[in-house]
Structure 1
């Protein structure tokens, strides 16, 4: 089966916009897509090997979302990406 690269990117964009997959950005700015849980979370990525883990959203996350809703914003989305060196690489 052949499929064009444009079709792949179009579907990735649709899945990302629908919230079915999340984009984590690599060191060169490239989008790395992964399927994540639905609960609010953030990502931490190893600068050495690229390993990416999810971190549960904190109370601050919920507080910021509530503040945005109090200002009449809806469909609030935001991502915090952390990077560092994982235990296996350090």
Structure 2
């Protein structure tokens, strides 16, 4: 017997699949409102929580503390995050993907997605810091 998901879950999931980028919950809510979808902010948060638990969407924390969501079918991105200017630079190729896949298989663990985040200073902020120190 399969359990049907509420239509709000489908609305949120379909939007994230179509969007093909990360978005925070409040911006997602506002965009759904602009598109004429009758869905409340609390419902958006509940749908995101459920979809994340199911592995249908991924969540990552931005440098400013916001959760960003995207469909797991969206190309997995990894980031270099600058703690000073809050810029997030996409790493195009995951440097550990093959090793992780083999390790997950050896652990008999099904992975829906993974994240790889590095935190530090971007080139511009490093230069500004060096200038201030001289």
Shorter-chain TM-score tier: 0.5 to 0.7
Alpha-carbon contact 2:81-2:88 (below 8 Å) kept: yes
What does residue 53 of structure 1 align with?
89
Q: Give the counterpart of 1:18 among 56, 66, 69.
A: 56
Q: Is the partner of 1:48 in helix, strand or coil?
A: coil
- Cα-to-partner distance string for 1:2-28 (whole Å, 9 max, x where unaligned): 753312322333554413x5422435x
Identify, as 1 or 2, the structure richer in helix.
2
Q: Give the counterpart of 1:69 among 99, 105, 108.
A: 105
What does residue 33 of structure 1 align with?
68
- Cα-to-partner distance string for 1:16-74 (whole Å, 9 max, x where unaligned): 4413x5422435xx333154842x4422111012111221201x331122122123222
Structure 1 residues 67 and 47 mapped into 2: Cα distance closer, same or farther (>3 Å)? Answer: same
Identify, as 1 or 2, the structure richer in strand.
1
TM-score, normalized by length of structure 2? 0.48
Larger radius of gyration: 2
5+ residue gaps in structure 2?
Answer: 1-32, 127-134
Size of the aligned set, in residue pairs, is 85
What does residue 78 of structure 2 align with?
42
5+ residue gaps in structure 1?
Answer: none
Alpha-carbon contact 1:65-1:76 (below 8 Å) kept: no
